[in-house]
């Protein structure tokens, strides 16, 4: 048996050991965490590089709905309104009023409103109170730049998404169109394509190079509109197509989404951005989504420019189904599980070689397939 002194020394040593041990365990844990963080970061960077020539947040369309609070008592009989803009602490509604969110909804950490949301509103002595969010039919989201685990909602309850691209001497970027079409098809939102700024082309809306680029889309079920917001070209056809629906304009910054919304709604006053003279690129001017209601009941949602469209978890089969012009050929591929990338005897590749399938669309298919998570 050791003396009291020995016991004390032993206790001190044990404490030191425990401290060291805890330190080591803690260090180990931190190392593992930071390794995992680095790996995730690298994976994200890789995915982004694969996706995109640029490096900006991307948008997603989803059909299912994020967590939503239950209706509050007595709110189901209240009048309905649509959210037109979301500001700090106040919500603009499509009837022109400014509402506040009821306290019980604010307590729910999952509660979020976005443009296009349908809400039940209660009149009060002060500003009207939003008491309930109705189920969303569809929505468009993008990652929150400040928090990679969160999404920012851009628009909800959309019937038609108009993918806007701009005509220019440097040509269109069909990569965005193809990914966007796939994302919309998966999210159950109808798509339309609008080539804006045709006034910049030598041949205007009838330009030969424009016709060639858009040919693969003209042969699909997606309606294509050639417009100039500046000159008012092609707008009546676009207006007719959108009549009575909730529509969202999506696309790169500077393609003229706000200009188109303005041209379709001459009474509105949305700002459009000046294009930088030295490189012809648009400035980001629209920083938040907003909805406007036209006289015929059409609702137009203008969104900030995105540089990319992510697909979320998407299977190779879903990608293939999105390229419907491949369908007539796939039965003739030598292998039943042909991916139509580089397989021998692939009838799709033969059709590309023979000019029966657009080569740019096929290239875009291969890029999208390669960017899917394994």
Ligand X SMILES: Nc1nc2c(ncn2[C@@H]2O[C@H](COP(=O)(O)OP(=O)(O)OP(=O)(O)O)[C@@H](O)[C@H]2O)c(=O)[nH]1
Q: How far is the CB of 247 from ligand X (least distance, A)?
A: 14
Partner that binds at residue 300, options ligand X, Mg ion, Zn ion, none, CB closer than 5 to 8 Å by kind? none
Cβ 227 vs Cβ 141: under 8 Å:
no
The total number of residues shown for the chain amounts to 374
d(CA 185, CA 189): 6
Site for Mg ion contains 258 (CB under 5 A): yes
- Residue 355: count other Cβ atoms within 10 Å of its Cβ: 8
Q: List own/partner pairs for 263-270 with CB under 8 A and 24 or more apart.
A: 263/229, 263/232, 263/235, 264/235, 264/238, 264/239, 264/294, 264/298, 264/300, 265/292, 265/294, 265/300, 268/292, 270/302
Q: How far is the CB of 323 from Zn ion (least distance, A)?
A: 11
Q: How far is the CB of 270 from ligand X (least distance, A)?
A: 8
Q: Which is nearer to ligand X, 115 or 368 (CB)?
A: 115
- The kind and range of the H/E element at 186 are helix 174-187
Site for Mg ion contains 196 (CB under 5 A): no
d(CA 106, CA 127): 16
Q: How far is the CB of 298 from ligand X (least distance, A)?
A: 18
Which residues here bind ligand X, judged by CB under 6 A?
Answer: 196-197, 199-200, 228-230, 253-259, 272-275, 282, 284-286, 304-305
Site for Mg ion contains 286 (CB under 5 A): yes
Q: What is the contact mask toward Zn ion in residues 335 to 354, using x (rule: CB under 5 A)?
A: ---x-x-----x-x------
Partner that binds at residue 333, options ligand X, Mg ion, Zn ion, none, CB closer than 5 to 8 Å by kind? Zn ion
Q: Which is nearer to Mg ion, 251 or 322 (CB)?
A: 251
d(CA 306, CA 302): 12
| Contacting positions for Zn ion (CB under 5 A) | 333, 338, 340, 346, 348
| Contacting positions for Mg ion (CB under 5 A) | 257-258, 286
């Amino acid at each position: 048996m050791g003396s009291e002194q020995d016991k004390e020394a032993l206790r001190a040593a044990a404490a030191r050991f425990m401290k060291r041990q805890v330190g080591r365990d803690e260090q180990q844990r931190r190392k593992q965490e930071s390794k995992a963080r680095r790996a995730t970061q690298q994976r994200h960077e890789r995915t982004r590089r694969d996706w995109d020539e640029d490096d900006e947040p991307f948008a997603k369309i989803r059909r299912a709905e994020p967590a939503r609070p239950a209706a509050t008592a007595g709110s189901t009989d209240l009048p309905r309104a649509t959210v037109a803009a979301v500001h700090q602490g106040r919500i603009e509604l499509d009837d022109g009023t400014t509402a506040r969110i009821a306290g019980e909804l604010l307590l729910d950490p999952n509660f979020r409103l976005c443009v296009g949301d349908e809400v039940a509103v209660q009149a009060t002595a002060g500003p009207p109170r939003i008491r309930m969010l109705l189920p969303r039919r569809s929505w468009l989201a993008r990652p929150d730049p400040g928090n990679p685990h969160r999404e920012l909602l851009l628009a909800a309850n959309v019937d038609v998404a108009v993918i806007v691209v701009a005509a220019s001497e440097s040509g269109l970027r069909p990569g965005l169109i193809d990914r966007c079409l796939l994302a919309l098809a998966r999210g159950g939102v109808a798509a339309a394509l609008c080539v804006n700024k045709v006034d910049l082309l030598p041949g205007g809306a009838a330009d030969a190079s424009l016709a060639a680029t858009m040919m693969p889309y003209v042969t699909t079920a997606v309606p294509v509109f050639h417009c100039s917001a500046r000159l008012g070209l092609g707008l009546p056809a676009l207006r007719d197509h959108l009549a009575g629906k909730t529509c969202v304009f999506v696309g790169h910054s500077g393609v003229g989404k706000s200009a188109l919304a303005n041209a379709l709604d001459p009474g509105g006053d949305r700002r459009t951005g000046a294009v930088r003279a030295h490189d012809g690129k648009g400035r980001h001017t629209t920083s938040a989504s907003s909805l406007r209601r036209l006289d015929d009941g059409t609702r137009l949602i203008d969104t900030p420019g995105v540089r990319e469209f992510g697909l979320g978890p998407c299977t190779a089969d879903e990608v293939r189904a999105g390229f419907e012009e491949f369908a007539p050929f796939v039965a003739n591929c030598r292998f039943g599980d042909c991916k139509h990338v580089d397989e021998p005897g692939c009838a799709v590749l033969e059709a590309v070689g023979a000019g029966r399938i657009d080569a740019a669309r096929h290239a875009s298919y291969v890029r999208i397939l390669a960017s899917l998570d394994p």
